[in-house]
Amino acid sequence: MQIQRRELLKGAVASLTSFIAPRLSFAESSDPLPKRTLGRTGLQAAVLGYGAMQVSDPAIIRHGLDQGINYIDTADCYLGGRNEKVVGKAVKGVRERLVIATKVHIAKESRMRKSVSKSLASLGVKKVDLMQLHGLSSKEQVVRKDIQQTMRQMKQEGKFDFSAVTTHSNQIEVLEAVAEDGFYDAVLVAVNFRSPANLYKAIKQASDAGVGIIAMKTQNGGFEDKAWPELTPHQAALRYVLDQPGIHLAVPGMLSRKMVNENLGAIARKPDLSDILHLENYKTDLLGKACSFCSGCIDQCRFGIGGMDVARIQMYLEGYRDSELAVSKGREVAAKVRLCNDCEGCSVNCSQGIDIKRSAQRILRFLS
Amino acid sequence: MNICSVLLLVTALSIPFAALAENIPNLPESIGSAPALTRVDDVRTWDPENMYEHVNGEAELLKRYGATSLTFAAYENEAGDYFAIDILDMQEPINAYGLYRLYAGCDGTEYSFLEATVLADEYAPHALLGPYFFRFNVDISGDSGGGKQLVDDFLKNFISSLSDQPSLPSTLETLQQKALQPCEVNYHPEHVDYDLESGPGYTWTGPDGQTYSLAVLRSPDEAKRHAGLLKSRGLQTILVRNNAIIWQKADEKRSTAYMEEILKEVIDK
């Protein structure tokens, strides 16, 4: 309890400091949806962008655009390729004032070219603003010269204005490589209020190097749904990320007008001290309990399996309090749980404070 | 790491993969010919909570549609040809249909192969079979047909190992006959309308170009309660018959003969 209180106060002070400085940029702007410059691209993007991945109704996206959102993120593979057509319908007539970002997978040049051409046709545009290489997870992928050459040629041919990457795992390595290498102009990175400090540090360093930073999965760090002082948990989580140094905008997924309006509300309403303390309290509550799926444990584990399966079963048992689910899933991964339990000394230093070995012991006791 | 730990690790890791793959029948060791593609690595399976490891953010969508497992296998040959499959167990054929139709829309070329429906594509064909949704990743030199032969061979092998699968609800067939085109009929297991938070149901475009939605509840009482809930959320025109409710997206504040006809056919069948 004492440790938790210390952590709470430390985090609250840090959050308050980070809230005050960036808050000035919001406070100075009378625009209900302020814009930021996306790194060296020079693109002016509203801080709330549209993550279109799951949306099949262009009217919902158009509602967001009509409220001032001017950045849309889609991909060649979303909804089996149909998402770009949905976005294309939504942006008809307003494309010129928008920043459109889509994606292409690393593949042979011919396939990448076909994919990009198909994306442009599906979107109904001559070019997009950002073309993002999808799902990079290593420095090797970032620095591949053959891929950069293909991207450079397509850019010169006028298919897009800027090259970028997306990353979901090994994100710090990817961010550092993009900053150092200098070829890609922006990174779409998964980050939320529970992400570790070294990820935020890598984000800031990349941003200082001129890389545009777009945040995704900003609200996936928790699942509390009870009432908060001024902001809902989703709004607070979004606002937390947007107020961190180096982050230019976020692209939460919005499936309904209600979700769009809720996220817009996060921008309009300034968080006060009670929101900050509540968020820090919530974050502290989750310490040691909930996995953030950062995959950091895998490299640290001497067996290369990490502790995510153990943490997941613990979450079913102690977080969701679903013992049936914990039993059925626990049995599937029992061998890994046993390995953790039998391991002489766990080498994992979990970013969320989960004691993997102790959790494995608790799970095995429960399963037996 | 000593030899005992290595052996323990190898044994421990092989058990869960074998156990998890058992619900998916018979993935072959090789596929195709001249030259054949052989499987690389073990077959891998994920559940809804860790599916993101393989498909990143798409896991959220797959979970919404009811996916209970994702199984992945990849095949390669010396010529650099590549063929990979994601097999999603969607629990119910209607969930699999909903996901398939979301991805397929009405734009592509579909064909029937044995009991499966296949959406042809140069690189990413999809298929629907009972409660299973398949996504293929095909890169075969000199073949712009999306590896059709490989896809068909794979499905034939898969089908031969399956027992009888439950069929799609008769409601779907009724709506497909009444829609502008059969491919216009969609199903969502979570919310057919997220603005209304409407719950699961069907949605389609009618011959008049309007969008309609239908929910089939468990009882007439539940249908009445659900209709009341949707009205409280702003919906003006909603028809109820027995345990089914229907509404029009444009909500033109009038019922239509078409909506009544649909309800009658869905209930009476």
CATH number at residue A44: 3.20.20.100
Fold type of domain B3-160: Protein Transport Mog1p; Chain A (3.40.1000)
Nearest CA in chain B to A325: B49
| Distance separating alpha carbons of residues B213 and B217, to the nearest angstrom | 13
Whether residues A77 and A224 fall in one domain = yes
Q: Provide the 3-class DSSP secondary structure of residue A259.
A: helix
Q: Are A82 and B103 a contacting pair at CB < 8 A?
A: yes
Among A237, A272, A307, where does a domain finish?
A272
* Chain B contact set for A169 (CB, 8 A): 53
Q: How many domains does chain A have?
A: 2
* Chain A contact set for B60 (CB, 8 A): 54, 253
Among A210, A238, A272, where does a domain finish?
A272
pLDDT at A311 over 90: no
Q: Are A258 and B195 a contacting pair at CB < 8 A?
A: yes
Average pLDDT, integer, range A183-204: 94
Q: Are A79 and B5 a contacting pair at CB < 8 A?
A: no
Which amino acid, A174?
V
Per-residue pLDDT of chain B (269 residues; tens, 9 = 90+): 454 444 444 444 443 333 334 457 778 899 988 789 999 988 988 888 788 888 888 888 999 999 999 999 999 999 889 999 999 999 999 999 999 999 999 988 999 999 999 999 888 999 999 999 999 999 888 776 668 999 999 999 999 888 887 889 999 999 999 999 999 999 999 999 998 999 999 999 999 899 999 999 999 999 999 999 999 998 888 999 999 999 998 877 676 899 999 999 999 87
Give me the pLDDT at residue A181, please.
98
Which amino acid, A50?
Y
Give me the pLDDT at residue A168, please.
86
* Chain B contact set for A329 (CB, 8 A): 47, 49
Whether residues A119 and A263 fall in one domain = yes
Q: Are A80 and B5 a contacting pair at CB < 8 A?
A: no
Nearest to A256 among B119, B124, B195 (CB): B195
Distance from the B223 Cα atom to the nearest Cα atom in chain A, whole angstroms:
23
Q: Provide the 3-class DSSP secondary structure of residue B159.
A: helix
A152-189 residues labelled b (16+ CB within 10 A) or e (exposed): eebeeeebbbbbbbbbbbbbbbbbbbbbeeebbbbbbb
* Chain A contact set for B103 (CB, 8 A): 79-82
DSSP letter at A48? B
pTM: 0.83
Whether residues A79 and A115 fall in one domain = yes
Sorted by sequence, the CB contacts under 8 Å of residue A151 that are 6+ apart come out as A131, A133, A163, A183
Domain ranges of chain B: 3-160, 170-268
Whether residues A21 and A107 fall in one domain = yes
Which amino acid, B209?
G
Distance from the A2 Cα atom to the nearest Cα atom in chain B, whole angstroms:
33
Half-sphere CA count of B97, side-chain side, radius 13 A: 22
**Nearest in space to A240 (alpha carbons), one of A309, A184, A192, A175:** A192
**Residues spanned by the domain of A349:** 296-367
Which candidate in B13, B49, B58 is best for mutational testing of the A interface (most A CBs within 10 A)?
B49
Q: Specify the range with the lowest mean pLDDT, choosing from A52-66, A174-188, B58-72, B249-263.
A: B249-263
Among A208, A238, A272, where does a domain finish?
A272
| Residue-wise DSSP of B81-108 | -EEEEEEEE-SSHHHHHHHHHHHHTTTS
Average pLDDT along chain A = 86
* Chain A contact set for B8 (CB, 8 A): 339, 342
| Distance separating alpha carbons of residues B247 and A284, to the nearest angstrom | 46
Nearest CA in chain B to A260: B195
Q: Are B20 and A332 a contacting pair at CB < 8 A?
A: yes
- Model confidence at A226, pLDDT cuts 50, 70, 90, reads low
Average pLDDT along chain B = 87
State phi, psi for B204 to the nearest 5 degrees: -160, 170
Q: Does A283 reside within a domain?
A: no
Give me the pLDDT at residue A161, please.
98
Average pLDDT, integer, range A333-351: 85
Q: Please, are residues A104 and A76 in contact by the beta-carbon 8 Å criterion?
A: yes
Tokens of A104: 């292409």
pLDDT at A5 over 60: no
Report the range out of A167-171, A206-210, A356-360 with the highest average pLDDT: A206-210
Which candidate in B185, B194, B202, B211 is best for mutational testing of the A interface (most A CBs within 10 A)?
B194
Average pLDDT, integer, range A283-299: 74
What would the pLDDT profile of A133-173 be if each residue is shown by its tens digit?
A: 999 999 999 999 999 999 999 999 999 999 999 998 899 99
